Structure 1
């Protein structure tokens, strides 16, 4: 019995990886298409950035709710309806773009519905991995690495697929998200078997009390990880938004060719994420070293993005270094959260972390749209300084021997 308790089928893992892959495509696929949307719909670059931000803002506020519901009623019960909402949101945005003369408002509504779906799907995968493997730290960190690699692989595919679909029909990316969501729904329904929880779900008052205790005991390192999540995704999505605009307006690289160029730093991010997830193996000391080295590399390299913006090769080298650093950092952050919070609170705490990441996703494109004309270099220097400040927080608050004190009930 013990030999099989942590057995998870390959199809189960494939099904789980489909969620971050599709939810990432649902957002990142539109980044290379934004200049086309600006032209077709007649909107500004700031308005086009809201197509990304509206998705993320909806997710920010609802992720903690989804996390609690998944702890209370089960992961799969939350994931499947959420994927259906993502499917519906894509259809609304797609049909509005296809049939309406002024579709912008309906596109935003569709994106908000998609964001609600993302809130209940993608973040719940992290605690579900912890549930499936129970206390096997090495398998948890390895599988989380695969999940994060799927997420980053979605970012690699996004600019290519987005450009290809938009070349066929400019609004096709919206419909493609719905089609991919349907595939994920089928995979999750048939192949993900969640272990039955023999314990009674916590009552709401006890749940609140336990959550407060976790943040009291583990708060310093948890908040540090949350801040890392915000900054990393802020830097990544602002950089991608800038690259998309810069490649067209400065280097005259458009369409499918632009999609492949955008994919270069993201491919390296994906490879780095996979390697990092394989190397972690639940080792907290190793996790902290990866976080430290990644933050240093990201903080130094991001400063040079603006200065190399007119030299394509140098720009791709710099953004690739940023991508490698972020790729190594993400599985480390996922693992330290998922592996050190006890099961009945895992969904809720990891959902706060996912919300933090979505804050960065939501803020990145609109901030970049406002600063890239006059304050580009200042903005990237500021990002580098913030990264180094976070590095100090990591040294001060992430203490290997103090993490996980509340993992086991008193």
Structure 2
């Protein structure tokens, strides 16, 4: 990989890192926010859910706009909107205190709109930047690793910032967004195929919808399976993180930095596993499938054990969460690579956006369902294990890699 491309990739890697911080940094301080804002557990979960829920709707639109007008332009606009939303939420928490909940949600809504135009567009842009499939896979592994590293850093950073003042994790989002904007503007050079003008960019929305419908009809079986797996994997991850955050505080009376460090353990497993998987899978689609199936079966076993074994041992619980993180981390870069390498460049932004939208459905539902089932924790883990088992079966039977490597983007299919 050329040094110039490494700078491009480093700048792009800042986007999932910052988008993750903007969301996951709040998970360890949700109980604190609940007390400060005097709201219920379900209202608290909406601080995470509203950010993800609006992204579900906006991500496909952002994917279409990135195909039509250029990925870099959409990314910069999206990051700017995230910064504006951060200002709204931060000022509401600072100036309105316990009366600012509604305005905080408005700011999170705005952030979700911006996030839809940032991280999801990064994945197809990485696919545009490299010709070598091995470099694409490695680049996607770095992006997913940056995403998961943000999740590792976020509980510790969020807990540390909240020690200064409880709403500081909300207030720093505009600052970190500005850093990413500068990095993208300075280092990311748009490939000619992205936003270069021409016939593809003059197509109307109706033609675009027809093409997407045709593509889904042609490759729907494996695409729908990957969408479902991405959705349910995020549902499980954000659900068990919300549950673990509440359990650490309410059952074990663990707060502050120590709580953030414990939350970072399963997230570190996701980060390390994503990095290793991204390096190993390369352009081997069968290996991508293998990593997905094995990772999902490991996740199923860990979640089922959490439900079956009623143990008060904290480290036993953390160990199972670590194993779950390893399983999720093995899956994510494999799914990214299967989609990015299985879709023609001119349609890649839109299909990747649909996939990202499916993932955000899981992000939105995880904390919400977990907040409702906090007093039925055994049932919650059975739900997670059932979802993981369903994903395992989808990966095993619905994803069928081609026997020979494809030479042309237009002829290539991951199913």
TM-score in terms of structure 1 length: 0.95
Residue matched to 1:146:
142
The alignment status of 1:215 with 2:211, answered yes or no, reads no
Deviation of 1:303 after TM superposition, in Å, equals: 1.7
Distance 2:370 2:46 in 1: 12
Distance 2:222 2:396 in 1: 10
Distance 1:249 1:262 in 2: 14
Residue matched to 1:378:
379
Residue matched to 1:124:
121
Deviation of 1:409 after TM superposition, in Å, equals: 6.7
Residue matched to 1:67:
63
Deviation of 1:384 after TM superposition, in Å, equals: 1.3
TM-score in terms of structure 2 length: 0.94
Q: Any runs of at least 4 consecutive aligned residues in structure 1 with deviations exceeding 6 A, and if so which? A: 402-406
Distance 1:213 1:282 in 2: 26
Deviation of 1:387 after TM superposition, in Å, equals: 2.0
Matches within 5 A, 1:265-304: 265-304=266-305
Distance 1:7 1:159 in 2: 32
Deviations 1:252-295 (A, max 9, x none): 11011100111111111111110000001011010010011011
Residue matched to 2:326:
324
Which of 361, 364, 368 is residue 363 of structure 2 equivalent to?
361
Which of 14, 20, 26 is residue 24 of structure 1 equivalent to?
20
> Structure 1's 327 and 309: CA in aligned 2 closer, same or farther, altered over 3 A?
farther
Distance 1:327 1:118 in 2: 22
Deviation of 1:168 after TM superposition, in Å, equals: 0.3
Deviation of 1:129 after TM superposition, in Å, equals: 0.1
SS at match of 1:382: helix
Deviation of 1:178 after TM superposition, in Å, equals: 1.0
Distance 2:406 2:393 in 1: 21
Residue matched to 1:166:
162
The alignment status of 1:336 with 2:338, answered yes or no, reads yes
Deviation of 1:7 after TM superposition, in Å, equals: 7.2
Distance 2:31 2:387 in 1: 29
> Structure 1's 297 and 274: CA in aligned 2 closer, same or farther, altered over 3 A?
same
Structure 1: gaps spanning 5 or more residues: none
Deviation of 1:405 after TM superposition, in Å, equals: 11
Distance 1:263 1:308 in 2: 23
Deviations 1:30-89 (A, max 9, x none): 000101101111011111100000100110100000000000010011000110010111
Segment drifting more, 297-306 vs 27-36: 297-306
Query: Retained in 2: the 8 A contact 1:341–1:406?
Result: no
Query: Retained in 2: the 8 A contact 1:371–1:379?
Result: yes
Deviation of 1:389 after TM superposition, in Å, equals: 2.4
Distance 2:312 2:357 in 1: 34
Residue matched to 1:155:
151
Deviation of 1:332 after TM superposition, in Å, equals: 0.3
Distance 1:318 1:250 in 2: 17
Residue matched to 2:225:
224
Residue matched to 1:97:
93
> Structure 1's 179 and 22: CA in aligned 2 closer, same or farther, altered over 3 A?
same
State how many pairs are aligned. Answer: 404
Cα RMSD, aligned residues only: 1.8
Which of 108, 112, 121 is residue 111 of structure 1 equivalent to?
108
Query: Retained in 2: the 8 A contact 1:290–1:332?
Result: yes
Distance 1:262 1:309 in 2: 18
Distance 2:407 2:137 in 1: 19
Deviations 1:103-145 (A, max 9, x none): 0000000000000110000000000001101x31100000100
> Structure 1's 388 and 88: CA in aligned 2 closer, same or farther, altered over 3 A?
same
> Structure 1's 299 and 347: CA in aligned 2 closer, same or farther, altered over 3 A?
same
